[in-house]
């Protein structure tokens, strides 16, 4: 289990410090963050890591592509990553780590969100394209790994593995409009976009979100 979080389209003071502290329970082995350069489109991506594959610092996140065009954060496990790695190697791709993270990142970069259809496992991720200023966020088909987001008044996007990492940035914390419906249908709750906290939305299992030019598009994979 790891934790991911980020903000796209705004710079918030102490954002990294706040969300990493909130998600430390998900990734006690290491943590890290990446910030876009000053005067560039504002982005901060954060990760707390639980070591599974490649326990060296090479597997730490956020992970950058060789060209540094792409920045990647990932929570989960790709069970067939060795088979996928061999396929990518046959296409000329070289790997610096022994992690499923690097395989997943390069697969998404080269094949787009459809690469998820080749993957067996559980995941939640954000892939930031620093050239196109575009983010791809996705979640596994069974919804094992959680991913929440909040679209702010200024159209910036905050996302995280847990709602508690988003709530510090809400104007106020209050129940959503349909809280009674959720309480009456608790077994359906996890498969709705709506969350118990107003202003927070869940990415549905098997779906991915594209965030570009302060606009959000929700797509089923």
Instruction: Return all residues near 142 (Cβ < 8 A) that are at least 6 apart.
Output: 122, 205, 206
Is 2 one of the annotated active-site residues of the chain?
yes
Quick one: residue 181, left, alpha or beta (phi over 0 = left, psi -120 to 50 = alpha)?
Answer: alpha
User: What are the distances in angstroms from CA 100 to CA 56, 72, 120, 145, 186?
Assistant: 14, 12, 11, 15, 34
How many other C-beta atoms can be found within 10 angstroms of the C-beta atom of residue 194? 16
Max intra-chain CA distance, the chain:
54
- The angle at the Cα of 99, spanning 6 to 33, to the nearest 5 degrees, equals 25
Q: Helices in 49-178 by DSSP H: which ranges?
A: 81-90, 100-111
Residue among 2, 46, 119, 126 flagged as catalytic: 2
| Alpha carbons 152 and 74: distance in angstroms, whole number | 23
Q: Which two tokens stand for residue 94?
A: 């070289």
User: So which residues are the catalytic ones?
Assistant: 2
């Amino acid at each position: 289990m790891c934790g991911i979080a980020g903000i796209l389209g705004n710079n918030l003071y102490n954002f990294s410090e706040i969300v990493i502290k909130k998600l430390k329970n998900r990734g006690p082995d290491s943590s890290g963050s990446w910030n876009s350069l000053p005067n560039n489109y504002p982005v901060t991506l954060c990760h707390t890591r639980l070591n599974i594959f490649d326990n060296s610092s090479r597997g730490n996140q956020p992970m950058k592509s060789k060209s540094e065009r792409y920045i990647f954060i990932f929570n989960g496990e790709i069970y067939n990553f060795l088979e996928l790695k061999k396929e990518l190697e046959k296409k000329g791709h070289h790997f610096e780590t022994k992690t499923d993270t690097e395989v997943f990142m390069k697969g998404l970069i080269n094949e787009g969100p459809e690469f998820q259809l080749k993957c067996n496992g559980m995941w939640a991720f954000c892939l930031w394209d620093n050239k196109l200023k575009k983010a791809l966020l996705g979640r596994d088909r069974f919804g094992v790994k959680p991913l929440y987001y909040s679209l702010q008044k200024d159209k910036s996007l905050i996302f995280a593995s847990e709602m508690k990492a988003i709530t510090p940035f809400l104007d106020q914390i209050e129940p959503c409009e349909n809280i009674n419906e959720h309480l009456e249908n608790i077994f359906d709750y996890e498969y709705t976009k709506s969350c118990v906290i107003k202003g927070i939305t869940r990415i549905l299992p098997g779906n991915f979100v594209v965030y570009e030019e302060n606009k959000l598009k929700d797509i089923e994979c």
